[in-house]
């Protein structure tokens, strides 16, 4: 881990030298479990950020954590180092489900880690939930939902399980050994999620994200608005100047290349204007407020209807989209069908 931080320092130094950046508005430590670092390493991780980059006043600095990987000393170090938002990967409060997911924590650990985060002074906490999990019923999900609401986090993210290629779940599914809930139960869980959280004061601002007033994740909205973002660290993805890039995934290879004085970028792709328009539309429709006409024209130089008029009109007729003259957005009934709607905007 210390060598990884050595390599990260070299990458951050090179990145800061190459690009004359304005102060950062948001920072997100995640895509793994940065809280696996001990207290000393955690302090160094945050010190590297401040050494090579300036942060804007009021910048949002989020850190992902798995329950059980934090203690009070580490959490206080995160807070002192400038982190002001935590995101815990809870997934479920049912211990049998957590075992099936291969999680290292149980529900009791969630409560302990959450309490320590409050003691350390964090006033903006996200808890992740999942639904459509193996062996999960609607009642089991409802129980997890009640328990997460009882904790009163400022933000809740909830995602349906997606079986990714190359994972153990994908192998089990191919062998007929993965028993997932039927589609009607998966839909029932999503509808229950929306109704329950909105009744409890959580505004739905994205198809999988709910927040109390003032606590919507600013960093993730950068992605959904298809705006540029820097990336550093093994396996990270960035998007700058219309170019997407990927950092080397293998940690040993990342360390070797970075310590040799090279940015360990393994893929670069210049995104065409047509694909940028497609991305702005598909990502933007994830937001409940949708895609703004004015923002789209300013970004791409053409109107939404010049780019996607036929698709928008077709989906308005189907009552999957609505256009109030300012924004084009998903209708309430189309939220569970979002992926099907997005397919219509693929131009390649």
- Domain-located, residue 154: yes
**Per-residue pLDDT at 171:** 65
- Domain-located, residue 289: yes
- Domain-located, residue 251: no
Q: Kindly report the CATH number assigned to the domain that includes residue 174.
A: 3.20.20.70
Residue 166 has pLDDT above 90, yes or no: no
Q: Are residues 170 and 100 in the same domain?
A: yes
pLDDT band at 152 (very low <50, low <70, confident <90, very high): very high
Q: Are residues 181 and 45 in the same domain?
A: yes
Left if phi > 0, otherwise alpha if psi is -120 to 50, otherwise beta: which for 228?
Answer: beta
Residue 215 has pLDDT above 90, yes or no: yes
**Per-residue pLDDT at 173:** 64
- Domain-located, residue 197: yes
Residue that finishes a domain, picked among 213, 237, 255: 213
Whether residue 268 contacts residue 243, with contact meaning beta carbons closer than 8 Å, is answered with yes
Q: Are residues 297 and 164 in the same domain?
A: no
Element housing 49 (H / E): helix 39-52
Q: Are residues 82 and 203 in the same domain?
A: yes
State the first-to-last Cα distance of the chain, in angstroms, to the nearest integer: 41
**Per-residue pLDDT at 178:** 67
Residue 254 has pLDDT above 90, yes or no: yes
- Alpha helices by DSSP H, 1-38: 2-18
Q: Are residues 143 and 292 in the same domain?
A: no
Residue that finishes a domain, picked among 180, 213, 246: 213
- Domain-located, residue 255: no
- Domain-located, residue 9: no
Mean pLDDT of the chain: 92
Q: Are residues 194 and 65 in the same domain?
A: yes
- What does residue 83 show for φ and ψ, rounded to 5 degrees? -70, 135
**Per-residue pLDDT at 98:** 81
Residue that finishes a domain, picked among 196, 213, 230: 213
How far are the Cα atoms of 44, 63, 348 from residue 2, in angstroms, in the given order?
Answer: 9, 19, 43
Distance of CA 174 to the CA centre of its chain: 28
Whether residue 126 contacts residue 88, with contact meaning beta carbons closer than 8 Å, is answered with yes
Three-state helix/strand/coil letters over 293-327: HHHHHHHHCCCHHHHHHHHHHHHHHCCCEEECCCE
**Per-residue pLDDT at 327:** 98
Give percent of the chain above pLDDT 90. Answer: 80
Q: Closest by alpha carbon to 58, among 39, 78, 85?
A: 85
pLDDT band at 106 (very low <50, low <70, confident <90, very high): confident
Provide the number of structural domains found in the chain: 2
Whether residue 189 contacts residue 132, with contact meaning beta carbons closer than 8 Å, is answered with yes
Distance CA 267, CA 231 (A): 13
Where in the sequence is the domain holding 323, given as residue range(s)?
A: 273-343
Q: Are residues 192 and 299 in the same domain?
A: no
Q: Are residues 170 and 49 in the same domain?
A: yes
Q: Are residues 42 and 189 in the same domain?
A: yes
- Domain-located, residue 220: no
Per-residue pLDDT tens over the stretch 302-328: 999 999 999 999 999 999 999 999 999
Q: Kindly report the CATH number assigned to the domain that includes residue 294.
A: 1.10.10
| Residue of higher predicted confidence among 146 and 107 | 146
Q: Are residues 289 and 148 in the same domain?
A: no
Q: Are residues 186 and 281 in the same domain?
A: no
Whether residue 321 contacts residue 315, with contact meaning beta carbons closer than 8 Å, is answered with yes
Tokens 């995602």, located at residue:
159
Q: Are residues 196 and 91 in the same domain?
A: yes
- Domain-located, residue 245: no
pTM of the model: 0.92
């Amino acid at each position: 881990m210390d060598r990884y931080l050595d390599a990260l320092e070299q990458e951050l130094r090179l990145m800061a030298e190459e690009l004359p950046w304005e102060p950062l508005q948001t920072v997100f430590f995640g895509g793994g479990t940065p809280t696996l670092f001990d207290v000393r390493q955690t302090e160094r991780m945050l010190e590297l950020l401040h050494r090579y980059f300036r942060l804007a006043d009021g910048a949002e600095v989020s850190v992902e954590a798995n329950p059980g990987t934090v203690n009070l000393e580490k959490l206080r170090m995160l807070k002192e180092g400038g982190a002001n938002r935590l995101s815990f990967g809870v997934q479920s409060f049912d211990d049998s489900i957590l075992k099936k997911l291969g999680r290292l924590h149980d529900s009791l650990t969630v409560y302990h880690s959450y309490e320590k985060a409050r003691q350390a002074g964090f006033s903006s906490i996200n808890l992740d939930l999942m639904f459509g999990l193996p062996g999960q019923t609607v009642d089991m999900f409802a129980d997890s939902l009640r328990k997460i609401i009882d904790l009163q986090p400022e933000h809740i993210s909830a995602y349906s399980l997606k079986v990714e290629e190359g994972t153990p779940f994908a192998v089990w599914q191919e062998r007929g050994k993965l028993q997932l809930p039927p589609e009607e139960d998966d839909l029932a869980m999503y509808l229950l999620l929306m109704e329950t959280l909105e009744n409890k004061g959580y505004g739905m601002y994205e198809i999988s994200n709910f927040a109390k007033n003032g606590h919507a994740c600013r960093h993730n909205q950068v992605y959904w608005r298809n705006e540029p973002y820097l990336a550093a660290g093994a396996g990270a993805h960035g998007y700058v100047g219309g170019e997407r890039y990927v950092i080397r995934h293998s940690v040993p290879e990342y360390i070797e290349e970075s310590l040799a004085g090279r940015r360990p970028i393994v893929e670069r792709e210049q995104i065409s204007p047509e694909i940028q328009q497609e991305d702005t539309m598909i990502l933007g429709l994830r937001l409940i407020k949708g895609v703004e006409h004015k923002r789209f024209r300013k970004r791409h130089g053409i109107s939404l209807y010049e780019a996607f008029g036929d698709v928008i009109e077709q989906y308005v007729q189907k009552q999957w989209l609505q256009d109030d003259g300012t924004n084009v957005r998903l209708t309430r009934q189309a939220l569970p069908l979002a992926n099907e709607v997005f397919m219509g905007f693929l131009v390649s």
